[in-house]
Amino acid sequence: MNPKRGILIAGNWKMHLGPKETAVFVADLGKRRQNAISGQTRAGLQSGKLRAMIIPPALSLPAARASVDTAWPELQIAAQNAHGEKKGAFTGELSGPMLADIGIRHVLLGHSERRQLFGETDTTVRSRLEGLLDQGFEVILCIGETLAERESGDTQAVLLRQLAGALPDSGPSGRFLDGRIVIAYEPVWAIGTGKTATPAQAQEAHAVIRADLQARFGTQAAERTLILYGGSVKPENIKEILTQPDVDGALVGGASLDAASYLALVEAGGQALGHSL
Ligand code: PGA
């Protein structure tokens, strides 16, 4: 990580925790954080250099919003997906204005489960991303290779293809520069499998991503963009991952669903930030 960019720890709940469970979980997080989070981490959260985020299912977003406001106001909330159009005949979808209506300003896009199980492609991800950026959202764009792609030596080509397909072309003065795109590198073979990329593998992929951002959008855009690692991150391995220069945080599934574990991940973010100052 780089202290100028800061750190983001995001918990992707996937299809877990309904509205009632969400209210209970967030209240619990709020109570436990008093003891689980150090002064250093609290200062990081207050300054905005460290961001803690949860990504609940759509139906639980209003409950999350209401609970966070009382339990832990600095905790940010993102949606797991959203459509790029503001309204229309899109059964089953969720729009930016609906999210904005309940105070949600962040959206995850292109998670590998959306791509593999629900037919999303770079093209669908890109139209969502462009629409949501236009509406002022911060988006977290997920990319990553499968095991077969890694084993055949195609990791770099896959990442570059996904970035080229999903990110809008924009000149140096374009909207990319306003810092509202976060990239999450999630090797598909590491998601929910207990297999984590080694810190060196994560760094190598993140460096490829940052170099591509630099080539396409310039040094400033590349330097300010947060690149998160995701795939079986847990309190036991996050510290090592965050020591890598181009890893600016983590997107965490399973280990974000336990309050103590999630708080330990946020605390690790605060420690990493503290060490680098
Ligand atoms: P995991 O999920 O931490 O359970 O591997 C990560 C993700 O899918 O974002």
Q: Per residue in 218-249, pLDDT tens? A: 898 899 999 999 999 999 999 999 999 999 99
Instruction: Looking at the CA of residue 192, tell me the nearest atom of ligand 1.
Output: 5
pLDDT of the residue at 243: 95
pLDDT digits (tens, 9 = 90+) for 42-101: 999 999 999 999 999 999 999 999 999 999 999 999 999 999 999 999 999 999 999 999
Q: Provide the CB-side half-sphere exposure for 74 (13 A, CA).
A: 18
Q: What 8-state DSSP symbol labels residue 168?
A: P
- Sign of the alpha-carbon torsion through 229, 232, 235, 237: negative
pLDDT of the residue at 274: 86
78 CB less than 6 Å from ligand 1? no
Q: Could you tell me which residue, 235 or 4, shows the higher pLDDT?
A: 235
| Concatenated DSSP letters of 19-60 | HHHHHHHHHHHHHHHHHHS-HHHHHHHHHTSEEEEEE--GGG
Q: What 8-state DSSP symbol labels residue 78?
A: E
- Sign of the alpha-carbon torsion through 223, 225, 230, 236: positive
Active-site residue set: 111, 186
The number of helix segments (H) and strand segments (E) in the chain equals 12, 8
pLDDT of the residue at 14: 98
230 CB less than 6 Å from ligand 1? yes
C-alpha to C-alpha distance for 75 and 172, rounded to whole angstroms: 32
Give the model's confidence band at 24: pLDDT under 50 very low, under 70 low, under 90 confident, else very high: very high
pLDDT of the residue at 173: 47
Centroid of ligand 1 to alpha carbon of 254 (angstroms)? 6
C-alpha to C-alpha distance for 7 and 273, rounded to whole angstroms: 7
212 CB less than 6 Å from ligand 1? no
pLDDT digits (tens, 9 = 90+) for 198-217: 999 999 999 999 999 999 88
For residue 141, what are the β-bridge partners? 109, 183
pLDDT digits (tens, 9 = 90+) for 153-179: 999 999 999 999 999 876 554 566 677
Q: What 8-state DSSP symbol labels residue 11?
A: E
Q: Ligand 1 atom 3: the closest Cα is on which residue?
A: 253
The amino acid at residue 50 is: L
251 CB less than 6 Å from ligand 1? yes
pTM for this prediction: 0.96
| Nearest Cα residue to 226 out of 197, 257, 249 | 249
12 CB less than 6 Å from ligand 1? yes
Pocket test for ligand 1, best of 113, 228, 232 (most atoms within 8 A of CB): 232
